[in-house]
Structure 1
Amino acid sequence: MTSTTPTTAMPTEGQHGLTQHSDGGWGLVPVQTRSERFASTEVADFPAVTGREHEWKLSPVATFADLTGGELDGSRTPIETVDPEGVTVSWIGRDDERIGTAGRPEDRGSANAWSGFAEAMLVSVAGEDEKIAVVTRTGLGEAPRGAHTVIEAAPNSRGLIVLRGTGDARLAENVEILVGEGASLTVVSLQEWSDDSVHLASHFARVGRDAKLKHIVVSLGGKVVRLNPSTHLAEPGADIEALGLYFSDAGQHLEQQVYVHHDAPHTRSRVNYKGALQGEGARSVWIGDVLIGPKATGTDSYEQNRNLVLTDGTRADSVPNLEIETGDIEGAGHASATGRFDDEQLFYLQARGIPEDEARRLVVRGFLTEIVQKIGAPELEARLIEALEAELQGA
């Protein structure tokens, strides 16, 4: 399914009853709500990326021009899997009816990946027992690649899926997550790429009736990682817990643009992203959009982002947004903060004989491990805490 609208910034005429200005002539009305952004699966429907577009203005677009506008290798990505009973990994064609069910690209990088992939990797989860499956992408090389993944949780199923990236990569990809009625699914996207790697990803999730999705983004490696998750709470009782953890070192750009669309009654969302930055040129970007639609009565929503700055020369952009189109909700709110160490915490630790450097590491570890401990997989949690400790050695 495609569209011929030529721009992502100015979509439709007469949106919300608005019309062009009498002195105008440009003929289009700016986007009035988050759900009305232009979307297409065809890269040709999007203009070339310049960095002035609203979705790219905080991104280092020159570093990944080959992923947003060049030809991509859409063949199967090399994978290593550890999949228990109840989880199967296979490959499906572009014509599979599940592809496109969770969402469609809203930017040129996502559309380029969608236009270029040959087959999609399908991860199927079935059975009511808890299970953990790990899919590792490694050995992708330095050539630009495009990929597509579908994760499908059958009704009333339970499972935790880890998508892990290691080694060299220049990857643009889309991940669709389908959570069936009554299912409980956790998806962990773990970026442990090499220092020069670039990864652009869009995740689209559709959560069914009385189903729950826990979506966790952990970005530690890579020169540029831009991972944007969008969740559609499409049926009554749908629930999303969107969590994120990132640690940006010198010259590293880690970005997340999170979108939650409450589109049915009695849905719930919690968004909590935390990051730390150290070193000259370390950069993080977090944009959180929550839309409570007119049908989403009884919504319970809250989003927050916290950034801890460890050294000079860093920059953290944090932009929470909240749109409410019905007055009948349980609650909604958002928060954002960026700062340095809490002096009272450091004083407390130092007063008990802990050296300042060690006290600082303890504060940072406590700040970040809140997210790790919510994964629900002890072995993975322990390994990630070790990885954070290694990052902190340079703080």
Structure 2
Amino acid sequence: MRVCLAAGLGVLLCSPLLAQKRYDPGASDTEIRIGHIAPYSGPASAYGTIGQAALAYVAKVNAEGGVNGRRIELISVDDAYNPAKTVEQARRLVEHDEVLAVFGALGTAQNLAIRRYMNAKKVPQLFVATGATRFGDPQAFPWTMGWQPTYQDEARVYAQHILATRPNAKVAVLLQNDDFGKDYLKGFMDALGDKAASMVVAQATYEVTDATVDSQVLALKASGADVFFNIATPKFAAQAIRKAGESGWKPTQYLASVSIFISAVLKPAGLDHATGVISASFIRDPQDETLQSSRELADYLAFMQRYYPAGDAGEFLNVLGYSMAQTLVQTLRQAGDELTRENLMKQAASLSMTLPMLHPGIGVKTGADDYRPIEKVQLVRFNGTRYESLGQPLGR
């Protein structure tokens, strides 16, 4: 059905009724209100800069006219990496601030704590900042979508690399004692297959409330392992790398991508201890020599200088926040004037795009039955100054 109005010279101006604007709470002719939850304090506060970078990118978009003429208000709140606090903040964002969606909440336990609530309320829980495998289930949880490659897929890549380069390795594993750590471990052990029982000679866990992981690292060293898989968040990952080096243990080290960061992890660990660490990334390193004359890097550096000058432009975490925010903005653009929660999820499940600071060959693609936007990683090795790529991107 179309509505037509008479104009001069007998011309009819027609407009489809489908073009009418539609809004849910958090959207209007002038504004789109989005919630964001980050650990600005607590044991994972190193990740707080992701939120700052996302806020800065939204400020850039607003300065350039917003999205389809609307200003984005990104309400970013602190949960201190505490799931109970995540629940409190999510409820406040949905029920008090009436956001259209919650975007980029960080942490496995934290997102699990709010997933049922978000789905019951039918509020998009978009692009969660965790690689936990369970955040890609559109049948059971249609309002929750991941963003980054899954921890299990990433761990499989490490296992495949070890099998190819060190088939007789003796592997020691440090992992956080929660779903995050167990997800990585499952992918790793599954990929090792029949060799898992003989190759993995020691495992040690830690709690997020622990002061250090020194005793765990020393126990792993005592196993005689010559490969160390470090499944830890930044604070503990840095401690483990440093303790291994200071104790004279020199295994080949594989580091979970959640702690790949040079400024937040490798520098506190000691660059000499971190040299040779192998990790996986889908985000490009701003210090990569092959990127230095590129338009992508120039745009990113200009953004950081103008909108987040206090941030470290060379830090992966800031590239992460920048790239996640770009994905959000594209989803909002695709939603057009139909800014309903249902349409926002529909658009999030209809993405096919590249992001300037992702490795070549790694894109963002979703579908109604595919809630895992990024599914490839690039193996990288730290050379004492920066990361160097190892081969081509791997994954699904």
Provide TM-score, normalisation by structure 2.
0.25
Where is the helix percentage greater, Structure 1 or Structure 2? 2
Which has the higher relative contact order, 1 or 2, with Cα contacts under 8 A spaced 6 or more apart?
2
Where is the strand percentage greater, Structure 1 or Structure 2? 1
Q: Greater Rg, structure 1 or structure 2?
A: 2
Provide TM-score, normalisation by structure 1.
0.26
